[in-house]
Amino acid sequence: MFLSVMPNFSDPAIWISLVTLTFLEIVLGIDNIIFISILANKLPVAQQAKARNLGLTLALIMRIGLLFTITWMMKLKDPVLTVPFLDDPTNPGNNLAISWKDVILILGGIFLLIKSTTEIHNKLERSEKPAKVGGTSSFSAVIVQILLIDAVFSVDSILTAVGLVDNIVIMIIAVIVSMIVMLIFAGPISRFINKHPSLQVLALAFLIAIGVILIANGFHQEFNKGYIYTALAFCLFVEMINLRMRRNKENLELNNSKIKE
């Protein structure tokens, strides 16, 4: 039973659940921000911020709208078909039962795999050509792609929220606060990723891993995203060291050239 009454904010348990859910929504939104940033970078510079903000705003609207259809959302977990040649790891001895939620996760994972792999391929193909900043896609095409992945991440996010709290007001507050945080940091994250080509490839590799996890989850294979985030953090740390070393090398070469002059 989901409550839509105003929660009692004098109760510490309410604040604990709100902070926990908000933090989880922010963490779950990291991959969304990365995907939106990479897509927005394909637009002219003047339209990139607009695309990021519009994408996150649409995600917010979508998630709040889904929260008011929780009864229908919960039905997405009901099996719609079974796969006779696969066992269900969550229900040993029975055939794998696929729900609409599973279908959405599988299709979303496949979309992420294809899109991220294509982006990496395009970057490799363009590596020997003059760099071109933005302007390779139409605004409407980018927004459509953002909407598609927003839908996948929104379903995953809302069903996660449902498993933590039973008050819709708490869910809405957590989603709004997390989206505000994402809107604030989307610009800096996007500029940071786009400034360094190696970080773009790292971000795309991260999205490929997320796509694999979504597909695995669709087939009821549980995998802790924390491992992926930890690996990403480690790779990011190593790349920061590489960036610092390259910058020091460039400065050293510049100083040497000035001395020779």
Angle in degrees, CA 32, 142, 128, rounded to 5: 95
Determine the 3-state secondary structure of 95 from DSSP: strand
pTM: predicted TM-score of the whole model, two decimal places: 0.69
Residue 221, amino acid: Q
| pLDDT at 9 exceeding the cut of 50 | yes
Q: What is the reported pLDDT for 5?
A: 62
Angle CA 108–23–100, to nearest 5:
25
Provide the pLDDT for residue 219: 85
Quick: pLDDT tens for 176-216: 888 888 888 888 877 777 777 777 788 788 878 888 888 88
Q: Does residue 127 register a pLDDT over 80? A: no
Question: In this predicted structure, what is the pLDDT of residue 1?
Answer: 46
Lowest mean pLDDT among 54-58, 119-123, 157-161: 157-161
User: What integer is the mean pLDDT of 162-173?
Assistant: 75
| SS3 assignment, position 163 | coil
Burial of 120 (0-12, 13-18, 19+ CB in 10 A): middle
Per-residue confidence (pLDDT) for residue 244, from 0 to 100: 83
CA distance 44 to 42: 7
pLDDT digits (tens, 9 = 90+) for 95-116: 888 888 888 888 888 888 888 8
Q: What is the mean pLDDT of residues 60-65?
A: 83
User: DSSP character for 165?
Assistant: -
| Cβ neighbours of 161 (radius 10 Å) | 24
Structure tokens given for 7: 């929660």
pLDDT for residue 136: 56
Query: Could you tell me if 192 and 199 are in contact, meaning their C-beta atoms sit under 8 angstroms apart?
Result: yes
The pLDDT confidence band at residue 76, using thresholds 50, 70 and 90, is confident
User: Per-residue pLDDT for 130 more than 50?
Assistant: no
The residue ranking higher by pLDDT, 25 or 162, is 25
For the record, the structure tokens of 99 come out as 């729900």
